[in-house]
Amino acid sequence: MQVSSPISQQVSYLEYQGKYKGLLGWITSTDHKRIALLYMFSMMVLFIVGALLGLGMKLELIAPGKTVMEAQTYNAFFTVHGVIMIFMIVIPGLPAVFGNFLLPIMIGAKDVAFPKLNLISWYVYILGAILVISSVLFGDGTPDTGWTFYAPYSFKTGTNMLPAIFGAFVLGFSSVLTGLNFIVTIHRLRAPGMTWSKLPLFPWTLYGTGWIQLLATPIVGITLILVALERIFGIGVFDPALGGDPILYQHLFWIYSHPAVYIMILPAMGAISEIIPTFSQKHIFGYKAIVVSTLAIAFVGYFVWGHHMFTAGMSNTSQYAFSILTFLVAIPSAIKVFNWVSTMYKGSINVQTPFYWAVSFIFVFMIGGLSGLVLGALTANVYLHDTAFVVAHFHFIVFGGTGYAFFAALHYWFPKMFGRMYDPKWANTGWVLFFIGFLALYGPMFYLGMMGMPRRYYDYLEQFHSANILSTLGSWVMVFGLVVIFVNLFRSARNGAPAPVNPWNGKTWEWTVPSPPPVENFDRIPEYKEKEGPYEY
Amino acid sequence: MSQVIHHEDHYDAEGSKIGMWLFIFTELLLFGGLFLIYSVYRYKNPDAFHLAAQELELFGGLFLIYSVYRYKNPDAFHLAAQELDTTIGAINTVILLISSMTIAMSTTALQKGQKKITLLLMVTTVVLGIVFLVNKYFEWGLKFEHGIFPGSEHMKTTLSQGEILFFGLYFVMTGLHALHILIGLVLILVAYYRITNGTVHANRPSLLENAGLYWHLVDLIWIFLFPLFYLIH
Amino acid sequence: MENAKHHIVPYRTYLFILIALLLCTFISIAITNIELGELTVTGALVLASVKSFLVLTYFMHLKYDRPYIRIMVAFVFLLFIAVIVITFFDYLFR
């Protein structure tokens, strides 16, 4: 394997000045690394908005009855919180930021297959975000349907649904184009010698994710268009008064939105699969099994959507089928957990911040996943559907999964992306605070759900009060942890110690190029010459 | 320090072909969702769908028959009406099939370096596409005149739920399809322009080939729309 | 990257495929005039599938492309069919 000199002929991507200078040079750049940062900063802003909405909700729930807002406002809060977090943060999340930055470098390419399309994807993303935010600021009231836009309420409500619906549609387009770009990139731009069986695991997950983005998103696209048409023209396709079936809406919505959670989690798992071997200084256990399980999750994930609808009014046959399939799809995820733990076994553990995040990822992901099995069991689901238990489940698995993996990846690849080391003491402090806050915030929701507290209500019975207080306090600790983490990363990006080419002794190709990388990544395209797969220590 | 990076010409025909196929997959799934809805509602309302399809023909035929014939007996009128609207649908099907052939032939012509024939075939494709759209315009116009349009009071008061669903799906699906015909025509015109100015040629045919792929997609969708809306008797 | 000059399809081939497509169209019009209940729909859809196969294979060049594209196309269609089938687990058994 060729190791290019850290002193490149090219200037770093951060410093490069092409036709345009300054900010203009960034928003017109087709360099995948700059586009990754564009996504990262836009997502950060939107994440703060979404997090503030979450804090607002928790503040309302610190006591029964009205605390700081009316019921209608609470409905708007959880709707916009969901739309932002799902469509603007966790779905684009890892692919848009780390996929964009790392994929070409990890496969030995100078950029993605369609760099201009990549930049357009970001513009489309921003347009979608603006449309959604506009639904809050203008018009007849912020959407209040929940991010799931269920019919018939979504076409009956007087609130400002159309911009939100179109915004979600446009955001879907961005997702599709990113997936398309990555699939072609991986098919066509792998460097000589990098066969499919030598492809590192993060690119593998980006490949599987790309297919889901491509094939699932159009379904929700057409569904959203139909809701819009229902609002404007009253075509009747989901309106019971005209013969439509609201359950059909739910089918169509979840045919996308379930695979969407695999869009969220597969790249997260891919990042963890990169981090654990590096910090165990040991080859990944079961490379093939992880690849196969990635593809299996992507595939079987298409067939389980009905588990969001067990109590909606589907046939019994349907319920049984979806329950069985849901249990099946858990298997490949469990296989990955075994692989990760086995990788660490007898490894030479380097206890650094990314490793803390990776290990805590496994912990919270397992809780989230196992609670998913509880929900996948029909008899339990009847009792737990639409309770706080579901809210706990998806926050553990999505925030816990994608979120923790995002922070793990952020710290892992920070030296490469910014050419500086973060301050580990503050990073670890932030992690501790975040972890404790996270568990305190979401843990009680499992209990509350089992005791019968419904979700999406701004009020609750007195017996749920103390658990809610703990949860709200947890939200403050967690957010404080987030502040510590972000401030540390911002300051380190400016003042941190200069980062070496390979601070963690990683084995994949991004650790052979300078930190930060030059504009075209490599002076010469490398050639993969190892006999074995990546991660050979 | 200022450096301008000059990118070499990255022409990857295979890569852009895969890219267009992947995009086509998204379009297939987009329409797929509508076909899913159609199949559910047809399963639930088989008779209403039959009835609506006949009315579709009836209303279409009503106007045309009246303007062409002055006198007829009811049976012949009904029969002719049925034939007439299936006829419009069939004509449109034939139009699209021929246009698919012409755009496919244009890729052969381009590869053989026969520039004039390439352009002629492309123009033919565009003309056929426009004729299709004109037919559609009249078809829809007839329905509107008879009070059949999305959300119309007439539909809500006179038709059963299954029939309302049928027409709702009819307008959405044929409308979305017509939009995609427009997009396809634009793509072909862009390719036409690029061939005339020499950027698309036998050694760099991707834009034309991919525009052609998109056009075939539009044809594929119609191949399924036709029997589902026009061949229910 | 290879710049293989790929196979040029003769005009004649496209013309024959068009004729086949037109034939299938007229057959499907003819058979749907005969009331066969459920079979009518099936017949029309089978013919539509045949037509799609011809368009995909010849007009869209799949026959002359490398196999992985055919595999992708087949996979997408199969996935879509699977989703419809599973949706009908609900509607068929309500």
Q: Give the per-residue pLDDT at A400.
A: 96
Sort out which chain B residues have CB atoms less than 8 A from C61's CB and list them.
209, 213
B13 at A interface, C-beta within 8 A: no
Sort out which chain B residues have CB atoms less than 8 A from C84's CB and list them.
35-36, 39
Q: In A436-463, which positions are buried (b, 16+ CB within 10 angstroms) versus exposed (e)? A: ebbbbbbbbbbbbbbeebbbbebebeee
Residue B12 lies inside a defined structural domain of this protein: no
Residue B76 lies inside a defined structural domain of this protein: yes
Which tokens is B185 given?
Answer: 């025509």
Burial of A491 (0-12, 13-18, 19+ CB in 10 A): middle
Which tokens is B61 given?
Answer: 């035929």
**How many Cβ pairs closer than 8 A exist between chain B and C?**
109
Which tokens is A17 given?
Answer: 């000045």
Quick: pLDDT tens for B132-143.
999 999 889 888
> How many CB atoms within 10 Å of residue A197?
10
Look at phi and psi of residue A234 and say left if phi exceeds 0, alpha if psi is from -120 to 50, else beta. left
Quick: pLDDT tens for C7-17.
899 999 999 99
Question: Between these two residues, A263 and B72, which has the higher pLDDT value?
Answer: A263
Q: Give the position of tokens 């301008």.
A: B4
Nearest CA in chain A to B163: A243
Structural domain span for residue B102: 33-230
Q: At what angle do helices B115-145 and B161-196 cross, to 10 degrees?
A: 160
Q: Give Cα A48 distance to the centre of its chain.
A: 15
Tell if the CB–CB gap between B108 and C8 is shorter than 8 Å: yes
pTM value?
A: 0.93
Q: What CA–CA distance (Å, rounded) separates B42 from B231? A: 14
Which tokens is A35 given?
Answer: 């586009």
Tell if the CB–CB gap between B150 and A221 is shorter than 8 Å: no
B97 at C interface, C-beta within 8 A: yes
User: Which of A113, A295, A304 has its CA nearest to residue A212?
Assistant: A295
Q: What CA–CA distance (Å, rounded) separates B106 from B124? A: 10
Quick check: B163 pLDDT over 90? no
Tell if the CB–CB gap between B216 and C1 is shorter than 8 Å: no
Q: Is the Cβ–Cβ distance between A301 and A258 less than 8 Å? A: yes
In terms of DSSP H, where are the helices of chain B? 13-44, 46-68, 74-111, 115-145, 153-158, 161-196, 206-230
Q: At what angle do helices B46-68 and B161-196 cross, to 10 degrees?
A: 70
Tell if the CB–CB gap between A215 and C79 is shorter than 8 Å: yes
Question: Between these two residues, B81 and B220, which has the higher pLDDT value?
Answer: B220
Residue B10 lies inside a defined structural domain of this protein: no
C84 at A interface, C-beta within 8 A: no
Tell if the CB–CB gap between C25 and B97 is shorter than 8 Å: yes
Task: Report how far apart, in Å, the C-alpha atoms of A443 and of each of A44, A80, A363, A389, A451 are.
Answer: 25, 23, 13, 9, 13
A419 to chain B, minimum CA–CA distance in Å? 18
Write down the mean pLDDT value for chain A: 95
Sort out which chain C residues have CB atoms less than 8 A from B12's CB and list them.
1
A235 at B interface, C-beta within 8 A: yes
Tell if the CB–CB gap between C90 and A303 is shorter than 8 Å: no
Sort out which chain C residues have CB atoms less than 8 A from A210's CB and list them.
none
* pLDDT tens digit at each of 537 positions of chain A: 444 445 667 789 998 888 888 899 999 999 999 999 999 999 999 999 999 999 999 999 999 999 999 999 999 999 999 999 999 999 999 999 999 999 999 999 999 999 999 999 999 999 999 999 999 988 789 999 999 999 999 999 999 999 999 999 999 999 999 999 999 999 999 999 999 999 999 999 999 999 999 999 999 999 999 999 999 998 889 999 998 999 999 999 999 999 999 999 999 999 999 999 999 999 999 999 999 999 999 999 999 999 999 999 999 999 999 999 999 999 999 999 999 999 999 999 999 999 999 999 999 999 999 999 999 999 999 999 999 999 999 999 999 999 999 999 999 999 999 999 999 999 999 999 999 999 999 999 999 999 999 999 999 999 999 999 999 999 999 999 999 999 999 999 999 999 999 999 999 999 999 999 999 999 899 999 888 888 888
Tell if the CB–CB gap between A306 and C83 is shorter than 8 Å: no
Q: What CA–CA distance (Å, rounded) separates A190 from A202? A: 14
Sort out which chain C residues have CB atoms less than 8 A from B216's CB and list them.
55-56, 59-60
C76 at A interface, C-beta within 8 A: yes
Which tokens is B217 given?
Answer: 């997609």
C15 to chain B, minimum CA–CA distance in Å? 7
User: Count of domains in chain B?
Assistant: 1
User: Which of B163, B166, B186 has its CA nearest to residue B174?
Assistant: B166
Tell if the CB–CB gap between A315 and C92 is shorter than 8 Å: yes
Element (H, E) at B136: helix B115-145
Angle, vertex CA A85, rays to CA A74 and CA A175, nearest 5: 140
Q: Is the Cβ–Cβ distance between A25 and A17 less than 8 Å? A: yes
Q: Is the Cβ–Cβ distance between A48 and A66 less than 8 Å? A: no
Residue B200 lies inside a defined structural domain of this protein: yes
C19 to chain A, minimum CA–CA distance in Å? 33
Q: Give the per-residue pLDDT at C21.
A: 97
Q: Give the per-residue pLDDT at B192.
A: 97
Q: What CA–CA distance (Å, rounded) separates A399 from A85? A: 9
Nearest CA in chain B to C76: B25
Q: Is the Cβ–Cβ distance between A422 and A492 less than 8 Å? A: yes
Residue B180 lies inside a defined structural domain of this protein: yes
Q: What CA–CA distance (Å, rounded) separates C29 from B90? A: 8
Write down the mean pLDDT value for chain B: 85
Burial of A524 (0-12, 13-18, 19+ CB in 10 A): exposed
B213 at C interface, C-beta within 8 A: yes
Q: What CA–CA distance (Å, rounded) separates B165 from B227? A: 17
Quick: pLDDT tens for A137-176.
887 899 999 999 999 999 999 999 999 999 999 999 999 9
Q: At what angle do helices A246-280 and B13-44 cross, to 10 degrees?
A: 140
SS3 A493: helix
Quick check: B56 pLDDT over 90? no
SS3 A309: coil
Q: Is the Cβ–Cβ distance between A339 and A274 less than 8 Å? A: no
Q: What are phi and psi of A498, to 5 degrees?
A: -60, 135
Classify the C-alpha dihedral B150-B151-B153-B157 as positive or negative. positive
Q: Is the Cβ–Cβ distance between A87 and A132 less than 8 Å? A: yes
Sort out which chain B residues have CB atoms less than 8 A from A113's CB and list them.
12, 15, 19
Q: Is the Cβ–Cβ distance between A401 and A340 less than 8 Å? A: no
Which tokens is C62 given?
Answer: 């799949």
> How many CB atoms within 10 Å of residue A118?
26
Nearest CA in chain B to C90: B40
Look at phi and psi of residue A505 and say left if phi exceeds 0, alpha if psi is from -120 to 50, else beta. left
Tell if the CB–CB gap between A183 and B22 is shorter than 8 Å: yes
> How many CB atoms within 10 Å of residue A22?
8
Q: What is the ipTM of this complex?
A: 0.92
Tell if the CB–CB gap between A321 and C86 is shorter than 8 Å: yes
C83 at A interface, C-beta within 8 A: yes
Q: Give Cα C8 distance to the centre of its chain.
A: 22
User: Which of B7, B27, B82 has its CA nearest to residue B217?
Assistant: B27
Q: What are phi and psi of A89, to 5 degrees?
A: -115, -70
Tell if the CB–CB gap between B216 and C60 is shorter than 8 Å: yes
Q: Give the per-residue pLDDT at B77.
A: 41
A242 at B interface, C-beta within 8 A: yes
Q: What are phi and psi of B76, to 5 degrees?
A: -65, -40
Range A12-19, long-range pairs (CB < 8 A, 24+ positions) = A12/A419, A12/A514, A12/A516, A12/A517, A12/A518, A12/A519, A13/A516, A13/A517, A13/A518, A13/A519, A14/A418, A14/A419, A14/A516, A15/B1, A16/A519, A16/B3, A16/B5, A17/B1, A17/B2, A17/B3, A18/B4, A18/B5, A19/B4
> How many CB atoms within 10 Å of residue B179?
11
Sort out which chain B residues have CB atoms less than 8 A from A247's CB and list them.
none
Quick: pLDDT tens for C44-87.
889 999 999 999 999 999 999 999 999 999 999 999 999 999 99
Q: Give the position of tokens 């995040």.
A: A357
Name all domains of chain A by residue range, CATH numbers in brackets: 25-512 (1.20.210.10)
- The domain spans of chain C are 1-60, 66-94
